[in-house]
């Protein structure tokens, strides 16, 4: 339990994380940031949240703007990267994300995902033999390029 706007409220870890990711709850309250830190310390809880929410490509595509906003906080970026099921992301999925990051001038979600999600396949190439590093560089994503190197 933690206080939201001075009212004690009990919410589950799943509900809390889902509300942050879908922008139903702003991560501006100190209690929320503390809860994120506590969740990161408990791997089994994070894994249970990941299994319950089962967030994959469709969720990322539909919520990319909010994910970029949320991932400005380093601890939230770690949490998001750990609960997104990105092991099946394709080259085209990453190309789309790189294009969105370039247009929105925000690389926070992609950098967090690359840095903190250990299940990504990053050695893929497209039909023209371009790597993810090539596509990131073409889109002017310097921070993503640094993480990929």
| Nearest by Cα to 141 from 96, 119, 111 | 111
25-58 pLDDT tens trace: 555 566 777 788 888 888 898 899 899 989 899 9
Q: For residue 20, what are its two tokens? A: 């942050």
**Element of type H or E holding 9:** strand 7-9
Residue 6 pLDDT: 59
Residue 117 CB: number of other CB atoms within 10 A? 18
Task: Tell me the Cα Rg of the chain.
Answer: 16
Q: Which residues of the chain have pLDDT under 70?
A: 1-10, 23-30
Residue 12 CB: number of other CB atoms within 10 A? 10
- Rounded (5°) CA angle 110-95-77: 10
């Amino acid at each position: 339990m933690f206080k939201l706007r001075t009212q004690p409220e009990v919410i589950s870890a799943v509900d809390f994380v889902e509300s942050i990711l879908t922008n139903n709850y702003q991560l501006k309250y100190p209690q929320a940031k503390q809860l994120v830190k506590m969740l990161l310390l408990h791997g089994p809880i994070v894994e249970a949240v990941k299994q319950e929410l089962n967030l994959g490509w469709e969720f990322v595509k539909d919520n990319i703007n909010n994910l970029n906003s949320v991932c400005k906080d380093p601890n939230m970026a770690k949490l998001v990267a750990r609960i997104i099921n990105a092991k099946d992301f394709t080259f085209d999925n990453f190309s789309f994300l790189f294009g969105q990051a370039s247009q929105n001038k925000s690389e926070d979600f992609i950098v967090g995902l690359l840095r903190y999600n250990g299940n990504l396949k990053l050695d893929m190439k497209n039909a023209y033999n371009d790597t993810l590093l090539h596509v990131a560089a073409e889109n002017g994503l310097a921070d993503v390029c640094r993480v990929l190197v």
